[in-house]
Chains A and B, each alone.
Chain A
Amino acid sequence: MIGFLIDMLLRANDLALLAVGLSLVYSLVSFPNVAHVQYAASGAFAAWAIADRGVPLWLAIVLSMALTSIAAVVLHRAIFDRLIRSGPPVAMIGSLAVAMIAVSGFLAIFGSRPRRLPLAMEAPTMVAGAPVTPLALWTLSGTALLLAGLTMLLYFTPFGRALRALAANRTLTAACGIDPKRLADAVCALSGAFAALGGIIIAASKQTYVLLGSDLLLPVFAAAIVGGLRNPLGAFGGALIIAFGETLMTNLDVGAALGRQSWFLPLGYLPAASFSLIAIILLWRPEGLFTRKTRSV
């Protein structure tokens, strides 16, 4: 049981930072940015490349987050902000093009060989009877801290209030003297840094490879959609739900539950868990789970 919880938390940890960032950007610019997951790959590759030149890992991670933030802001200003004027579908297809260009860039620069971050393997410690690596504890607490910080930022600062106001009513907020462009820059930078760290977390426990971002596309979108796509904290809930679904699928003994011989769902269908959850939840609640019809700020 504890083992199940830990597996689930670790998977949620892989998705949460990305889903929260995606949701945050969507609440401001109102198109699903397919290229968002590529920031995870670029963050992981940048951290690897910088650390590979002998820079200490913590510094490489900070630099990679900063670089990815800058890339996110530049891409938003140069491309997405222009495309959105032709409507959300055009912007969405444009983000798809950016994602393809990013993948081709990773392939050209880093090649198809997977890379590992320079981390020493450490023996797992026992937490309530289940083995957990120190690395997992580090990344879990890091994510928890960041999400707590984001919550404070969103709900207890003037910046957060402006952001939520802008998401709720753009025209009115602009009329109150809040500059949407500067806020959009800030949000893109923030979500880029979050995504880079999310990618680094995955690269730290597994490895980084060309399709790291593309493979995250559907689980991350599933988490954000389940959470309601405009609600960053809902996206965190969505990440927990998707992680629960996937972990359940790998651990649930369907045969035993039906009182028959032990039988597990075929592992080949694991990626389908998140896709099916999108379909089921959207049929039941088309706007996602954690949304309210009226929002007050």
Chain B
Amino acid sequence: MFEFAIHVVIVALIYGLSAISLNLQAGVAGLLNFGQVAFFGMGAYALAIAAKAGLPWPVGILAGMAVASLAGAGIGLLGRNLAAEYWAISTLALAEIVRLIALNEDWLSGGPQGLGGFPIPFDGVEGVRRGLAILGLCLFVLIASLGLAIYLTRSQFGRVLRLVRDQPALARSLGHDLMSLKLRMLMISAPIAAISGSLYAGYIGYIGPDQLLPFETFLVWTMIVIGGSGNHLGAVLGAVIVEFLYAGSPLIKEYVDISYDLAASLRILLVGAGLLAFLMLRTQGLIPERPARLDARG
């Protein structure tokens, strides 16, 4: 039970990173990214491929961050003259292309079987102590990313981006280059999601195309909506709550005799109903974004 609790906490922290990344894009900059899982996948596969090639794991993490940042710039450029909803659908489509590449390019990604059996961080450490070591690493990365995200959001850069989100016409009239601001936000936030992917692959020791399904993106969206869109502490809280519900719901099978399909359905229902309930009843989430005074100059 203790090991399972550690596992759930680690996965929650990893999702927390992804949630911070999406919250920077969606909550702060108003970018409707429905392809967030692609950044996660790039980090995860980069770590797995680098580890298979015998490189130390920090190399894989850095490579994943670089690839995700470039990909972020790419999908940002695609949105140059697209309306927000059109861009949202495009990002969903591009993430599916990334998943198809993972599924089909056996030489690179191992195809449908995915990649496993590569050297993983803290490989020699046994059982619970390995879990605790990974937990410490994840917690450290999460706190560092949280600090960076809060700093970015409070800085002039973040303030202007919130103005771009709420009053795009006003921001443009003040001389801000909307495109460049959004691109920079994507290039900064995508690597955070890539690290979460690398940590996941490094912790589990496996990554496959099934971990890149669009549902993973929807899960992260649910986390930031529940936690409080625009508030990074809220995003982490949302990640912890959703992951505990998601990981905990199959435990029902221990007490009530229900079929596998029903248990799977219950998990999806929890996520969907939670998302809808917060959108309808508490759109601002558990920890609302604090309205800040805007200083839109510069």
B residues adjacent to A (C-beta < 8 A): 30, 32, 78, 81-86, 88-90, 92-94, 96-97, 100, 103-104, 214-215, 218, 221-222, 225, 259, 261-262, 264-269, 271-273, 275-276, 279-280, 283
Contacts and interface: CB of A to CB of B under 8 A. Distances in A.
Interface string A101-122: 1011101100110000000000
Interface in A212-258: 214, 217-218, 221-222, 225, 229
Contacts of B221: 93, 96
Nearest to B96: A275
A79 B276 contact: yes
A99 B276 CA distance: 10
Contacts of A268: 100, 103-104
Contact of B280 (A79, A101, A111, A271): A79
B264 A107 contact: yes
B86 A286 contact: yes
Interface in A199-217: 214, 217
Given A100-B268, A100-B272, A275-B97, A94 B280 contact: yes
Contact of A107 (B86, B90, B214, B265): B265
A279 B262 CA distance: 37
Nearest to A268: B104
Nearest to A102: B272
A82 B271 CA distance: 20
Nearest to A78: B280
A219 to B, nearest CB: 10
B61 to A, nearest CB: 28
Nearest to A229: B86
Contacts of B265: 104-105, 107-108
Contact of A92 (B85, B261, B262): B85
A279 B97 CA distance: 11
B225 A266 contact: no
A279 B94 contact: yes
A103 B90 CA distance: 22
Contacts of B275: 93-94, 96-97, 100
Nearest to A82: B280
